[in-house]
């Protein structure tokens, strides 16, 4: 048997990746966030072991690039974000103002 025939025979019993994601609530982006150093080859082997037909490498690379881009943006935004106390204090002032306004109307 040639290599391609063996591979086709092995792939015939594999579960579709999208079906696997639905049934197991698997999210590739979340998986990549938790395993940033994992390469496509390792991911491919992992899915084959679980009897799942892996997605194409282009799809994996797109998802990985999204995750890495979001990480870069979030690290830059962490410096600019105001503290939670500032946000809470602003909201509490507005609420007390609205309560006082309602009491004046009555």
Taking only the tens place, the pLDDT of each residue in 84-95 is 655 555 555 556
Taking the C-alpha atoms of residue 32 and residue 10, their distance in angstroms, rounded to an integer, is 26
Domain locations along the chain = 3-105
Where b means 16+ CB within 10 Å and e means fewer, 48-73 reads eeeebbbbeeeebeebbeebeeeeee
pLDDT of residue 65: 92
CA distances from 93 to 53, 71, 84 (A): 55, 34, 15
Taking the C-alpha atoms of residue 9 and residue 7, their distance in angstroms, rounded to an integer, is 5
Q: DSSP label at 52?
A: B
Confidence of residue 81 (pLDDT cuts 50, 70, 90): low
15 phi and psi, to 5 degrees?
Answer: -80, 145
Q: Write down the pTM of the prediction.
A: 0.58
Taking the C-alpha atoms of residue 60 and residue 38, their distance in angstroms, rounded to an integer, is 11
Taking the C-alpha atoms of residue 31 and residue 76, their distance in angstroms, rounded to an integer, is 23
Average pLDDT, the chain: 78
The winner for highest mean pLDDT among 2-11, 36-45, 65-74 is: 36-45
- Residue 51 pLDDT more than 90? yes
Confidence of residue 55 (pLDDT cuts 50, 70, 90): very high
């Amino acid at each position: 048997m040639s290599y391609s025939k063996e591979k086709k025979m092995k792939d015939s019993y594999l579960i579709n990746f999208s079906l696997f994601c639905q049934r197991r609530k698997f999210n590739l982006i979340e998986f990549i966030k938790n395993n940033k150093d994992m390469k496509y080859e390792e991911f491919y082997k992992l899915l084959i072991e679980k009897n799942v037909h892996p997605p194409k490498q282009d799809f994996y690379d797109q998802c990985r690039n999204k995750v890495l881009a979001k990480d870069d943006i979030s690290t830059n935004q962490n410096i600019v974000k105001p503290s939670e106390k500032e946000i809470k204090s602003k909201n509490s002032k507005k609420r007390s103002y609205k309560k006082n306004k309602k009491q004046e109307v009555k």
